[in-house]
């Protein structure tokens, strides 16, 4: 049976795969648009169209690079580690919500439990980092108790 951390990690990897595939499809479409643009246009309109496509291509390339960095973060998470201290790779159960400090993948349901996959630079993660079980942290002017850390 997979551990909770392994399941959360797989869901985060799946999130990245979906986002990466969508970006690659969009980039492929832009590539085709660029080829069509160079076949059918002339003059200033041609240059404007090409530039718009290049701007969009650069945006998508930057997003793809961010997802590659997130993938690198996931590869560094040790699913065996269980230090009891909130850090990257920790699963944190609080009285308000459950968090997986990894990448900003949003809400994930595993074993009928709702988790929020957040990056270590997220404000709530920063408030929790270094804390241990039964510690409290303050977030949005609210004091929150950490029940368990895996």
CA distance 44 to 21: 33
Question: 95 in helix, strand or coil?
Answer: coil
Non-local (6+) Cβ contacts of 124 within 8 A are 99, 118, 139
% of the chain beyond a pLDDT of 90: 78
Is pLDDT of 99 > 80?
A: yes
CA distances from 141 to 87, 116, 119, 137, 138 (A): 22, 20, 21, 10, 6
What per-residue confidence (pLDDT) applies to 143? 97
Q: Is 120 a residue whose pLDDT tops 90?
A: yes
Measured CA to CA, the distance from residue 101 to residue 127 in angstroms comes to 12
What average pLDDT does range 113-121 have in this prediction?
97
Mean pLDDT of 114-142: 97
29 pLDDT higher than 60: yes
Residue 1 has pLDDT above 60, yes or no: no
CA angle in degrees (0–180, nearest 5) for 102-103-108:
85
pLDDT average, residue stretch 16-37: 92
Strand 91-94 to strand 106-110: parallel, antiparallel, or no bridges (unpaired)?
unpaired
Whole-angstrom distance, CA of residue 59 vs CA of residue 136: 40
pLDDT tops 90 at residue 115: yes
pLDDT score recorded for residue 49: 80
As a whole number of angstroms, the distance between CA 134 and CA 66 comes to: 34
Q: Is the pLDDT reported for residue 26 higher than 70? A: yes
Average pLDDT over residues 58-74: 97
């Amino acid at each position: 049976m997979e551990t909770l951390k392994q399941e959360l990690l797989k869901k985060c990897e799946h999130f990245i795969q979906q986002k990466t595939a969508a970006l690659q499809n969009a980039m492929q479409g832009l590539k085709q648009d660029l080829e069509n643009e160079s076949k059918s246009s002339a003059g200033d309109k041609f240059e404007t169209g090409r530039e718009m496509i290049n701007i969009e291509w650069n945006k998508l390339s930057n997003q793809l690079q961010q997802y590659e960095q997130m993938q690198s973060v996931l590869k560094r998470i040790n699913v065996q580690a269980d230090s009891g201290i909130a850090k990257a790779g920790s699963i944190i159960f609080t009285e308000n919500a459950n968090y997986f400090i990894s990448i900003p993948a949003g809400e994930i349901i595993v074993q009928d439990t709702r988790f929020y996959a957040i990056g270590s630079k997220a404000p709530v993660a920063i408030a929790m980092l270094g804390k241990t079980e039964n510690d409290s942290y303050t977030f949005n002017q609210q004091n929150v108790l950490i029940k368990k850390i895996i």
